[in-house]
Structure 1
């Protein structure tokens, strides 16, 4: 599969705008490893090879154990590998990413709101939306994962 176009060159201002949102998330106070974990899960749900590859590499560079990373798709069965915040973030990421089927029910919101402050939950939701946007760009234009380059 070859890349259809370089969307970074096609719309540098648009990609810079997404980068500004990314910068906000980096400075939001949410732990970087938590955000990378959410980015990986969203990318897995969407089937974005480019982003799965990138965020897996980021998590490994950040020190996440391979044993934990490979269980991200089955995090509910991961036992104590995933802490309370990670579980809440992953559940929220799944509900928000699958909004067309979940409708993001009150129970999902209440579970996330029990663990995160309003600001944290808003920023986490921005991060989830951002990764969904990046996934759609990479999938639509067939961005090549580093592992396949």
Structure 2
């Protein structure tokens, strides 16, 4: 698979704006591990090799066990591997990433709202939206995963 273009070189102001959003989320009150798990799940749904590689590496560096990483795609069956908060965040990530399929049902909103305060819920929603944008950029322009470069 050949890279189509380097969007960081072509539109540095635009990609820097995405980076500012990323910095906002990572410096916010949401736990970094939770954010990375959500990012991983979004990238799994979008089938984005570049970001799957990045999030897996980041979570591994954070000390997340490989067994937990392997279960992110099947988190509903993950038993005690995932906290109630992680489950709510992963469910919200799936709902928003697949928004074209079902919209955002009231029960999905009520479930995530029970787990997060208003500010954290808005930040989580920004994070999910951001990762969807990053995935679409990487997929559209065929950004190669680091693992594939070896």
Q: How does 1:40-119 map to 2 (within 5 A)?
A: 40-119=40-119
How far off is 1:2 after superposition? 1.4
CA deviations 1:36-56 (Å, max 9, x no partner) are 000000000001000000000
1:122-141 alignment runs, 5 A limit? 122-141=122-141
Using the alignment, how far apart are the partners of 1:9 and 1:136 within structure 2?
A: 17
Within 2, Cα distance between the matches of 1:24 and 1:104? 25
Query: 1:118 & 1:138 partners in 2: Cα distance?
Result: 30
- 3-state SS of 2:92 partner: helix
Unaligned stretches of 5+ residues in structure 2: none
TM-score, scaled to structure 2: 0.98
Q: Distance in 2 between matches of 1:9 and 1:102?
A: 36
Q: Map Cα deviations across residues 55-107 of structure 1 (whole Å, 9 max, x no partner).
A: 00000000000000000000000000000110000000000100001201000
Displacement of 1:27 in angstroms is: 1.7
The alignment partner of 2:28 has SS state of coil
> How far apart are 1:28 and its partner, in Å?
1.6
**In angstroms, what is the RMSD of aligned CA positions?**
0.5
- Structure 1 residue runs of 5 or longer lacking an equivalent are none
Is 2:24 the partner of 1:5? no
Aligned residue-pair number: 149
Partner Cα separation in structure 1 for residue 27 and residue 57 of structure 2: 21
Superimposed CA distance per residue, residues 92-126 of structure 1 (whole angstroms, 9 cap, x where no aligned partner): 00001000012010000000000000000000000
